[in-house]
Structure 1
Amino acid sequence: MTTALQQQVFALDARYNAHRAPQSLNFRTLYIRRRSQLLRDTKRSADDWKQYIKLRSALLQQRYGTTKVDSSSSISSLNINKSVINERTIFSTTGCVVPTKEAEASRAMVGGTTMAENYAFVGVEHIFDQHTKAVTMVKFANNDRTRLCCSSLDGNLSVCDLANNSPIVSAVLKGHIKAVTGFDWSINNDLIVSASLDGSIRVWKVADFKCLSIIKENNDVQILCCVFQPINNNLILAGNNKGELRIANISTGRYLKYVCRIGGNILSIAFDTNGKFLWAGNDRGEIVSVFCELNEALCKMKKFSLASHCSITSLSYRAWISREARDPLLLVNATDNSMYLLSITDCEGSLQLKRKFQNRHQKHIVRSTFCPIMSFRQGACVVTGSEDGSIYFVDIEKMGNRSVVNTLQGHSSSVLSISFNYDESFLATSDLQGLVIIWKKGNMSQ
């Protein structure tokens, strides 16, 4: 209870922080760091915290007036003009996901704790501010608790380390001359591949943070997303603004001859765990399944179209999310104010709607993710960013407003990307102003 109230105070400070020294981002970052530390160290009863929130809110409104999250700056070429939903809370609008109604054995394995208790956070562990523009993507290294990579519209990537309770920026990777749209870690974390609006893919060697290879497209091509091929990390899949999926070979530094034309701007790619299928999402509301043949050709299979003309900004694959939900799923963010859960129904990668959640999302590249640890509880959890500046933990089994099991409020602008480390002890989130917040997991009772 106390932790939740502390979080409300921090959210209040973050919401008004943009009004403090508007020309000095460094001061605002230092202020919010200090406020986070003070709130963690302060011991009050629940009643005292409630009174403090009331007084703090009144004082801030008196000084700065009413405020709302600023999401006016665009981080992409998306030009979407739809009405903004009034609801702040994510809520679901369609059928059942987890087939079993009871999961007593699963709950017993984890001591009967609830989903909300499992995803309670004690507050901000650290705030990184090494980037001068929006941080488009954050991602922890594979099976690594402390290493984190970030990409930004400022054209740089950074590698951070949270080890030994002393978070540091290990390196800033410079080379792209335009915005970095995304990146991926290789399976053993020795390489990072990055995509940029400058038309290039760069491969970075993590051991010395040097650029190992540059793979360049034509001058009028923008690379909007990239991923390693899961079973062959010598190959990279890239999507561009020409609606093309292409394969690049790291060893040769060249693209292969095969081109798979999807159409639109390809904004997101997700592979299955075997590397045989991938799904690509574009700015036309289409998700296309693609089969990766043995000769490294790409064969377009099935297309799934959302009802509205929107952009598919994020795709995440999960073979199964809990003991009670074992079908393969895709988690999708779209700029029609929605997050979708789609089931994969056949061997051609066909998709079917399972659940739809409303979320504040119209303009930016907002991402979501499955929680990495398989749930032994009744229910299954995903996490998404939002243009209202919040991070939502959503139980995909629950209906209506009950689906949100936790909300983190610390950003004062749109939350663009999120990433858990492998054991869920840290959550990294990034925003439109270039801040990266590291959240530490805790217990609701603290």
Structure 2
Amino acid sequence: MTVWQQILALDARFNAHRVPADPGFRTLYIRRRSQLLREGVREEAGADPALRRQYLRQRAALLSRRYGVPADQVSVRSHSASTQSHSRQSHSRHHSDVGVARRGGESPATPGGGGTLVPSARATASQAIVGGGSLGENYAFAGFLHVFDQHTGPVTCVQFAHDELWLLALGSLDGRVSVCELEGEPRVRHLLSGHTDGVTALAWSTSNELLVTCARDGTARLWQPGSGHCLRAVADPHGSPLSCVVFHPENNNLVLLGNRHGLVQAVNVSSGRFPAGGSSQLASAVTALAAPPTGALIWAGCQKGMVVSFQCDQASGRLVKCRRVTVSDGVPVTCISARSWASREAADMSLLVNAACNSLLLFRVVDQEGGLQLKRRFSVRHSSAEHVIKSSFCPIMSFRQGACVVSGSEDCTVYLFDVERDLKPCVNKLQGHSAAVLDVSFNRDESLLATGDASGIVIVWKRQLSTTESA
């Protein structure tokens, strides 16, 4: 275990004592702390390890004094010895499981094996961040907060703003986008018009100051959600309908687009130009994109059931294809979500993939170029290529012993699955829609879940707070 991981582990151990009445803030704190530490590792690669260990000891002493917890309960030295041993074992296991593939080559998604994706049973620090309770208790819902019905076409995309509780964006095949405010009396803050055909995807910038949308009319639009103004419209240079869009996670001046001609393209939203080298051809129409906030890879899914990983230079927008993996042969991939477990007990990147073969697939990323190992397959009603069914990791999955994912389905039901439960993995089913549920999104602290369906209805569900959270 590296020093930055030990520092994060130390902060996680004390996190239960930090703002006891606000679990959402504690979760946000540890997430931001993880991000800053990761960035610090890249910037200070040549720093003296002894100096970092000294910092670790001093921080442990200060936190112990601040929260009145005996220092022997957070012994760094003993923990470090055991975790270094575990790290060596994991490194050895990793290289024994993963085959070498050439850049740009195709490899199958390796089934099974690997080890747990989530924190171990002894991950008391991670559990302390969100409190106790079973997953069933954590994902019990108390009914609706609000139902939005302003759209006349299917709601294809539903997304809470980053680290926000109340700000929500909706996109519909009626060509409009809603920016909704849920605090107090829920309302539509802005109804954005400009696309001449159905909106297929949207994404928030890291700061939530910008919103990008793409549509079947072959254009991507950059919006200012605070004012509702359209700042720029960019047309696909090939005149192709656009199906997916994401911001580059490290440079929000770059946006990545996927079109029906099979092209993944980078575009500079300030200039509206497509940079040289910033496009790559897939075997069929691009149907899904994912750009995780941590990690160097961009992911794309296509109509023929393949997932392709790319490296995207944050300065130039140049795309380099890394791996091509068939996850559902001949069946469209409709959604990709990528997340890293922030917990020290399980740091691997994971991929969640919807495919139109009645499946929700969970993969572990096994190398730096995007090799995939299949971990779990969940049954979700999804057989029609006309329905773009999407799913999501639950936001605070990294801090519990178990972890959940949530998905829409064609049977009008929202499913929540425990990724570690072999028997009866479905934790909860939410039934309230009368049409296929197309997209799902949790807010920052999982108190609200928004789900949109093919009839144009969006339901905002209220989660039943546990005793610890409501205290």
Q: Specify the alignment match of 1:416 in structure 2.
A: 438
Report SS of the residue matched to 1:116: helix
The TM-score normalised by the length of structure 1 is 0.75
8 Å CA contact retained: 2:160, 2:443: yes
The answer to whether 1:145 aligns with 2:168 is no
Give the AA of the match of 2:414. I
The answer to whether 1:158 aligns with 2:178 is yes
Q: Which has the higher contact order (CA 8 A, sep 6+)?
A: 1
Which residue of 341, 362, 371 maps to 1:341? Answer: 362
8 Å CA contact retained: 2:164, 2:443: yes
8 Å CA contact retained: 2:287, 2:301: yes
**What is the Cα deviation at residue 378 of structure 1?**
2.4
Cα RMSD (Å)? 2.1
Q: Distance in 1 between matches of 2:175 and 2:245?
A: 16
Q: Specify the alignment match of 1:312 in structure 2.
A: 333
Give the AA of the match of 1:300. K
Q: Specify the alignment match of 1:6 in structure 2.
A: none
Task: Give the direction of change, closer, same or farther, for the CA distance of 1:192–1:296 in structure 2 (3 Å limit).
Answer: same
Alignment of structure 1 residues 23-42 onto 2, 5 Å: none
The TM-score normalised by the length of structure 2 is 0.71
Q: Specify the alignment match of 2:193 in structure 1.
A: 174
Alignment of structure 1 residues 332-371 onto 2, 5 Å: 332-363=353-384, 364-371=387-394
8 Å CA contact retained: 1:199, 1:221: yes
Alignment of structure 1 residues 166-315 onto 2, 5 Å: 166-218=185-237, 220-258=239-277, 259-274=279-294, 276-293=296-313, 295-315=316-336
The answer to whether 1:378 aligns with 2:401 is yes
Aligned-pair identity (%): 43
Which residue of 405, 410, 427 maps to 1:405? Answer: 427
Task: Give the direction of change, closer, same or farther, for the CA distance of 1:107–1:423 in structure 2 (3 Å limit).
Answer: closer
Deviates more, 1:363-372 or 1:100-109: 100-109
Task: Give the direction of change, closer, same or farther, for the CA distance of 1:376–1:199 in structure 2 (3 Å limit).
Answer: closer
Give the AA of the match of 2:420. E
Length, aligned pairs only: 352
Unaligned runs of 5+ in 2: 1-110
**What is the Cα deviation at residue 232 of structure 1?**
0.8
**What is the Cα deviation at residue 274 of structure 1?**
4.1
Going by fraction, where is helix more abundant, 1 or 2? 2
Q: Distance in 2 between matches of 1:376 and 1:251?
A: 37
Task: Give the direction of change, closer, same or farther, for the CA distance of 1:397–1:254 in structure 2 (3 Å limit).
Answer: same
Task: Give the direction of change, closer, same or farther, for the CA distance of 1:99–1:250 in structure 2 (3 Å limit).
Answer: closer
Give the AA of the match of 1:191. L
Q: Distance in 2 between matches of 1:108 and 1:419?
A: 24
Q: Distance in 2 between matches of 1:207 and 1:242?
A: 33
Q: Distance in 1 between matches of 2:295 and 2:229?
A: 27
Alignment of structure 1 residues 33-182 onto 2, 5 Å: 97-98=116-117, 102-103=121-122, 105=124, 107=127, 111-164=131-184, 166-182=185-201
The CA deviation string for residues 277-309 of structure 1, in whole angstroms up to 9 with x for no partner, is 101000100000101135321011111102531
The CA deviation string for residues 229-253 of structure 1, in whole angstroms up to 9 with x for no partner, is 1111111000001110111111112
8 Å CA contact retained: 2:197, 2:216: yes
Q: Distance in 2 between matches of 1:107 and 1:204?
A: 38
8 Å CA contact retained: 1:226, 1:238: yes
